[in-house]
Structure 1
Amino acid sequence: MDFDLSEEQSILKDSLDRLLGDTYGFEDRKRYMASAEGWSPQLWSQYTEMGLLALPFAEEDGGLGGTAVETAIVMESLGKALALEPYFTTAILGGAFLRYGGNDDQRARYIPAVAEGALKLAFAQVERNSRFDLHHVETTARKDGSGYVLNGQKSVVLHGDCADKLFVTARTAGDVRDENGIGVFLVDATAQGVTVRGYRTQDGLRAAEVTFDNVAVGAEAVFGDAENGLPLVRRVVDTGIAALAAESIGVMSAMHALTVDYLKVRKQFGVAIGQFQVLQHAAVDMFVAIEQARSISLYATMMADSDDATERTRAIHAAKAEIGRGGKIVGENAIQLHGGVGMTMEYAVGHYFKRMTMLNIAHGDADYHLRALAAMGGLLAA
């Protein structure tokens, strides 16, 4: 199988790497983080001009017809730069809801706005007691005429404080942990009864606690089946995890590059510490972990658009488990080989490790996905 990038894909990668290389230095990122938005609106406009926000959508819907491969290219580049913009929540998660759950009217209304950079989206799914279980939903959606009234609270809504609209999971029927009776609703972030409290996360991104107090939405806010929306949610999350796997490769590669450069310049006993064999072995362990993670990430990318939910989910579980394991190896070795400077706020490698740690937790950590994969009988069915 040919894994080489096409000419168009190579141009996309080179263009984005060049843009981020010019605009996302360590001090630049600190400045973006300290701004009112917590990210760069100027870069958001440049992403729009490059077509990144239109990339995942079909041409007939106003997009560029990109596949999971193009998404992975973008996410890996954003990972290397430790980018802060809400691309993942808007184009990947929000875009997947629009692509897989939106009807003709919903796609026509929202996709052009996303592609133009005018509409930012977020996914409000996590609850205080849900941990990683997508079917644990306490937020309720009570039928009211042709619409619904939402009540509940969502936690750690990534980029929820800058989103114009929120995709919200809410229970229309059943008990808290029933797999049926879950609906997906698109809610205006400024609607009456919506309260958003934003904050900075450990890796420098933004998130929010969101409360819904008798929030009324119309029938047009429902995406997919209001009584059986869990399959849609699972497909969207699978798409998101495949994208995060690619971002993880970018983060791990950057940590490895920083560490190898440090081994070449840091001297002890009159020689560069990279000449010590035990440190060379640690750097090789990092490289091997990255290549193993890259392989499973490619597999997850290939399976991300699959309609076979079972095989797609196997691939996603395997990717999340392996990348979580590899990310820990790379991050711990990067900090160890840098010594004390690796723990400082003034040096980039520690920030990469923070991001890698948060990527491991996002949508289920390595242990969670390994258990889920084992329950399915492993990556390859017997």
Structure 2
Amino acid sequence: MPLVLTEEQAMLRDSARDFLAEQSPITALRHLRDSADADGFSRPLWARFAEMGFTGVLVPESHGGLGLGHVEAGVVMEQIGHQLCASPLLASGIVALTALKAGGNAAQQDAWLRRIGSGEVIATLAVDEAAKHRPLQISTTATPVAGGLLLDGAKTFVLDGHVADLLIVAARSAGQPGEAEGITLCLVPRTAAGVSVERTVMADAHNAARVRFDRVQVAADAVLGEVGRGALVLEAALNAGRCAAAAELLGLADEVFERTVNYLKERKQFGRLIGEFQALQHRAALLYCELEITRAAVVKAQQALDADAAKAGPAVAVAKARAGRTATLAVQEGVQMHGGMGMTDEFDIGLFMKRARVLQELFGDANFHQDQLALGRGY
């Protein structure tokens, strides 16, 4: 399959680009940060996301969505990366939604998909428990009791957890941390008794939360999939998130590259445009090549998810690892080529660097995914 966008996908890209550039420029992120906004994102903008159909890209048409795939979701995420837009789309409209599509029964899908797709409900996945992404290292317990399960434990780095209406919690009902068997996914309202949420504003001014579960009652019909067999559904949701994060990293890196090249064409030193210096031309050319290779890897992963999500893991790992490294290179080169002002808060490049660092860690950094590829190939 060609690693390029179709005409319809290109139209969606252009629509998302124009909408976000007008409605959510980088100044909007600065306003959210500097005003210490309680939500950390604009609810009126989120409503406009729903009107544009962005929140329902992955929702089946039978549940009121657009019924599109991960290529289209990635197109929107890439444009979000260009503008550093703070929104729950990644957490709710991609990761949580994929978990419900992959593991939800008819009743659960009827209850949640349409509402998530319309932006009425925000959902998020709660999986990590330590500083690094290790999705099988789950010690939060889901103890069987009469009528359901009892949740005890804590999660960290829960995207948009402080504003989420629904938490999809990965807990352990059997086995030991590190084992895939025994993982159970539970649907838990954020306002349920025993749930406590602490907002944690990340370095990039985006949202996450620490969530604690103290003897939280989970009814039997609130289990997503089968008890003890949630690992495959969890992996499907995480791969969707990894692919979307890779797309956002690509958009972020592309924006930094464009800004840096424009600066090279404007800044003069020793009476010459600095873009005329061969050393800087070589560095810009290398970054351009890295961006194009990463773009192909990201589209390949998106297409693999749409074709057969169960077999897409390796392609997604390559895309996430490459996107993280490429974005890191882009922001480092951007800061250096802009000189001293590249380090100032008044200049936007620093905001891109912070977002790139957070996205690099989100759902596994390059080292994590390289390790997963090696293990999958028998090393």
TM-score w.r.t. length of structure 2: 0.95
Within 5 Å, give how 1:204-283 maps onto structure 2: 204-283=205-284
Distance in 1 (CA, whole Å) between partners of 2:154 and 2:54 is 32
Distance in 2 (CA, whole Å) between partners of 1:260 and 1:313 is 34
Of the three residues 32, 36, 39, the one matched with 2:38 is: 36
Instruction: Report what 2:164 is aligned to.
Output: 163
Letter in 2 for 1:363: F
Letter in 2 for 1:126: D
Does the alignment pair 1:124 with 2:123? no
Distance in 2 (CA, whole Å) between partners of 1:4 and 1:88 is 22
Distance in 2 (CA, whole Å) between partners of 1:103 and 1:308 is 18
Note the alpha carbon deviations across 1:289-319, whole angstroms, 9 max, x for none.
111111111111111134363x411111211
Shift of 1:51: 1.0
Answer with 297-306 or 320-329: which moved more.
320-329
Maintained 8 Å contact 2:252/2:352: yes
Q: Aligned with 1:198: secondary structure?
A: strand
Q: Aligned with 1:141: secondary structure?
A: strand
Within 5 Å, give how 1:1-382 maps onto structure 2: 1-33=1-33, 34=35, 35-128=37-130, 131-307=132-308, 309=310, 311-377=311-377
Distance in 2 (CA, whole Å) between partners of 1:12 and 1:316 is 22
Distance in 1 (CA, whole Å) between partners of 2:350 and 2:10 is 30
Q: Aligned with 2:306: secondary structure?
A: coil
Note the alpha carbon deviations across 1:72-106, whole angstroms, 9 max, x for none.
11111111111101110000001101111111111
Alignment length (residue pairs)? 377
Q: Aligned with 1:53: secondary structure?
A: helix
Distance in 2 (CA, whole Å) between partners of 1:342 and 1:329 is 14
Q: Aligned with 1:133: secondary structure?
A: coil
Maintained 8 Å contact 2:29/2:205: no
Q: Aligned with 1:112: secondary structure?
A: helix
Maintained 8 Å contact 1:289/1:329: no
Note the alpha carbon deviations across 1:26-60, whole angstroms, 9 max, x for none.
32221133322111111101100011111101112
Shift of 1:5: 3.4
Q: Aligned with 1:142: secondary structure?
A: strand
Shift of 1:288: 1.1
Letter in 2 for 1:69: V
Q: Aligned with 1:260: secondary structure?
A: helix
Q: Aligned with 1:187: secondary structure?
A: strand
Answer with 297-306 or 64-73: which moved more.
297-306
Maintained 8 Å contact 1:239/1:305: no
Shift of 1:3: 4.4
RMSD: 1.6
Letter in 1 for 2:372: A
Answer with 14-23 or 29-38: which moved more.
29-38
Question: Matched residues, percent identical?
Answer: 36
Structure 1 unmatched ranges of 5 or more: none
**Change over 3 Å in CA distance of 1:4–1:322 after alignment to 2:** closer
Distance in 1 (CA, whole Å) between partners of 2:304 and 2:194 is 39
Shift of 1:155: 0.7
Q: Aligned with 2:158: secondary structure?
A: strand
TM-score w.r.t. length of structure 1: 0.95
Q: Aligned with 2:38: secondary structure?
A: coil
Letter in 2 for 1:202: A
Maintained 8 Å contact 2:3/2:296: no
Maintained 8 Å contact 2:185/2:223: yes
Letter in 2 for 1:138: S
Letter in 2 for 1:103: N
Shift of 1:7: 3.8
Q: Aligned with 1:173: secondary structure?
A: coil
Shift of 1:279: 1.0
**Change over 3 Å in CA distance of 1:308–1:207 after alignment to 2:** closer
